[in-house]
Amino acid sequence: MPLTESDLIRIRQFIQKLEAGLLDGLTVFVTYHDSDLGSTPSNPTGDGTTGGWHTDSTADVNWMSVKRAHHVTEGTWGNPMAIRGLTGDTGASAIVYYIKPTDGTAIKNGAGTLTIEAHKIIGGSDTILSAGTIKLYDPDNNEITVGNGYAAGSDGYTGVFDSGDINLSKVVTMKDGVGGSPLDTITLVDILDGDDAIVGSIESDIGLVWLQAPGPGDWTPAGTECTLTVKYYQGGAEINTRTVVITRSGAALTAPEPDTVDGITYSRIGSGTSAITILFQHVAGEIQVAETVYAIAGSTSSGGGLSDDVPLLRNITFIGNVGSGKVGWTAGYLDYGGSTYNITTKAVDDAPIVGNATDAYVYWDADDSNTTFKMTNDLAVAIEAGNWVVCVNVGGVAKPSHVHRVILGGLIQANTITASTVIIAGTVTDSELSAGVNSDIAQGIGDAATAQSAADAAQGTADSKTQTFYQDAVPTAVTAGDIWYDTNDNLKMYRATSPGDDQVTAGEWEQVNITIIDGGNITAGTILAASISTYNLTGVNCTIENLMVKTAHIGNLNVTTGKVADSAVRDVHHAEAAAESGFWATTPSYTTLVSKQVTLAAGEEVEIQASLLHTVVGNYPRVLIYRDSTKLWEKGYVATDLGTWRLPGLLFDSPGAGTKTYKLCGSNDSGSGVKSSSHVISLDVWKGK
């Protein structure tokens, strides 16, 4: 009986098992690593539990490695293989990126094409990407586009492959730019290519995603099982195949315990979570293929899921410089309207594309230059239609202000918001709050009422105290006994009779009688310095005019500068000279008759008075007053007979700080000789402020 094609396949599989060691008692060992997808870990060594490697298949695992040996400490581990699960949140607000094959992953008989799509799930909606920087790339980091040699219809978000695009197999990666971390991978194979090379592909009977409608509503697909089938090919023929069934319970996905069947080792990552990765490895050549299946739960209300019209910022940090008053930001992502935008970096000191780095508002313009942020000082511009404020610059301090999510009221379950976690503005009825929240609010209202009562009592006590008014107009009394000093009438003092008094009349504001003592009735020497206490005389209760107080009668600090008005006290410098009978110098020279030196502080001024009792012989005499060499005043043609000359009024001078010499001088215009007889010459100099 001749051998059939099936017989030949079974014989070939038996030979491969012998070559692979499946009949020699070797065991398959698997180890895992949690390193970030962008950082490939070193190959494991020994028993696979050092250098961050471990044997627990948890939801945090991103890498795995496999080996076959008699004992776990023997043999060599395979290269680390990256496995990608969820990105970002889980549940109703999950953001999931995955590659969706639309017509399988293997080209058979060299005919037809394979199509794959870059998909994004957000807020319960599964859509194919058509914009943004997350795209499909081949192993050489080329975008899957027609321009890079791929079949018609390839645009970076959709990839179309014919047999000429796949040499044995091709791994396609979905990532954010050439240097981005993998978000998902898929292996495509051409089963007619090659000679003895082994290639593998995985197909699902229901797709790769379960998606639940809001409500929570129905799941799509409706079933609870997903069957993944892996097939390995060699020389154009299928050589090994097996299946693994994934079971969904709610949003939790599980799979059977790992094992090896028919030359294919199966392992799992994330069992019990909403994203489970199944990895298959052919023992001959350790060819690995993997696939991830997701279960995305719907929101708890039929009102819809996450609002997709609010920009979401990811991995963007705002930075500022107080010294320069400028702000900038790091690169990151912004999700909006079903698309993801790659926001570029702006250093603090760099100018934004619009505005200045010192402007107050950083905003995103959805309609123009939407891969960066703009800046402005005009809030109206920052919040106009299509613009979103994402940060406020306060003198170089960056204060992110963008609200990342809007929670629809219909999505809030009863009893999930407590009084300690919510601030309520406006009026909320009992039917809108749980009993527990009502109780907490009632307690808060009671505490507030108690505090208000205490504050009212304190205010009442304060209101009962008398008050003092200093003003021109008649005040309104707060309580009986209030005092008012009329600042427009020499500080006359009035006392209120009752609260609300607002007129100067009997029974309302009444003048307080003050005894006024005529200074002429005080006997000299009867008021001593010791009888006047410090601060007993103030500008309010004492007005002293034309009073001479001798220095000996004023004790140290008994009169403060606050009690003495400017220029009320002057420092007097007096100088007298006996008669001189010499001849006065001839003009422009002069003869100094008397002089006085004074030292002035900044801001002090000088007042000068001079007089001369004389008998002048000669013609054309002249009298002059000098400060140092500066002439301040001059009078010519003084009377030539016996008489008194006096400076008319006071002479004022403000020379600035320093020591100055003031002089009363005489000169002779005619040159025939002028002199004064034996009479008194005087010069008075006052200084002060």
Q: What is the CA radius of gyration of the chain?
A: 51
Does 659 fall in a domain? yes
453 secondary structure, DSSP code: H
Distances 413 to 300, 407, 644 between C-alpha atoms, Å: 8, 12, 109
Tokens of 180: 């981005």
pLDDT score recorded for residue 409: 57
Residue 139 and residue 242 share a domain? yes
Is beta strand 312-314 parallel, antiparallel or unpaired with respect to 621-627?
unpaired
pLDDT score recorded for residue 405: 43
Residue 124 and residue 41 share a domain? no
Total tally of structural domains belonging to the chain: 7
Residue 332 and residue 261 share a domain? no
Contact predicate 365/387, CB 8 Å: yes
Please name the residues in contact with 102: beta carbons below 8 A apart, sequence gap of 6 or more. Answer: 115, 116, 117
Q: Taking Cα atoms as reference points, which of 290, 280, 260, 267 lies closest to residue 21?
A: 260
Does 456 fall in a domain? no
Please name the residues in contact with 314: beta carbons below 8 A apart, sequence gap of 6 or more. Answer: 88, 332, 333, 334, 335
Neighbours of 591 (CB within 10 A): 19
Cα–Cα distance, 284 to 199 (Å, whole number) = 11
Residue 59 and residue 180 share a domain? no
Q: Of the candidates 38, 69, 100, which is a domain's last residue?
A: 69
Please name the residues in contact with 516: beta carbons below 8 A apart, sequence gap of 6 or more. Answer: none
Residue 430, exposed/middle/buried by CB under 10 A (0-12, 13-18, 19+)?
exposed
Q: Is the peptide bond before 588 cis (omega within 30 degrees of 0)?
A: yes
Cα–Cα distance, 31 to 20 (Å, whole number) = 20
Does 304 fall in a domain? no
Residue 421 and residue 394 share a domain? no
Residue 174's beta-bridge partner residues?
136, 184
Residue 190 and residue 253 share a domain? yes
Does 167 fall in a domain? yes
Cα–Cα distance, 617 to 668 (Å, whole number) = 10
Residue type, 59: A
**What are residue 371's phi and psi, to 5 degrees?**
-105, 15
Residue type, 181: S
pLDDT score recorded for residue 274: 83
Cα–Cα distance, 113 to 106 (Å, whole number) = 9
Residue 671 and residue 585 share a domain? yes
pLDDT score recorded for residue 377: 93
pLDDT score recorded for residue 496: 93
Tell me which residue has tokens 């909606």.
125
Residue 241 and residue 135 share a domain? yes
Residue 639 and residue 605 share a domain? yes
Residue 181 and residue 260 share a domain? yes
Residue 652, exposed/middle/buried by CB under 10 A (0-12, 13-18, 19+)?
exposed
Contact predicate 266/260, CB 8 Å: yes
Cα–Cα distance, 497 to 494 (Å, whole number) = 10
Cα–Cα distance, 448 to 10 (Å, whole number) = 85
Q: Taking Cα atoms as reference points, which of 254, 220, 270, 274 lies closest to residue 93?
A: 274
Does 457 fall in a domain? no
Element (H, E) at 441: helix 435-463
Domain that holds residue 504: 465-514
Q: Mean pLDDT in each 10-residue stretch from start to end of the chain (689 residues)?
A: 49 47 56 80 91 81 76 82 49 68 78 88 79 91 94 94 83 88 82 66 88 76 92 80 93 90 85 85 75 75 44 84 91 79 89 92 88 92 86 89 50 58 48 50 66 74 77 91 88 90 93 69 63 46 48 46 49 63 75 85 84 62 86 72 65 88 80 50 68
Neighbours of 387 (CB within 10 A): 19
Cα–Cα distance, 262 to 260 (Å, whole number) = 7
Q: Of the candidates 48, 69, 90, which is a domain's last residue?
A: 69
Does 97 fall in a domain? yes
Q: Is 459 left (phi over 0), alpha (psi -120 to 50) or beta?
A: alpha
pLDDT score recorded for residue 18: 47
Residue 243 and residue 324 share a domain? no
Does 272 fall in a domain? yes
Tell me which residue has tokens 């581990």.
77
Residue type, 323: G
Residue 349 and residue 276 share a domain? no
pLDDT score recorded for residue 67: 74
Contact predicate 219/211, CB 8 Å: yes
pLDDT score recorded for residue 199: 77
Cα–Cα distance, 191 to 111 (Å, whole number) = 11
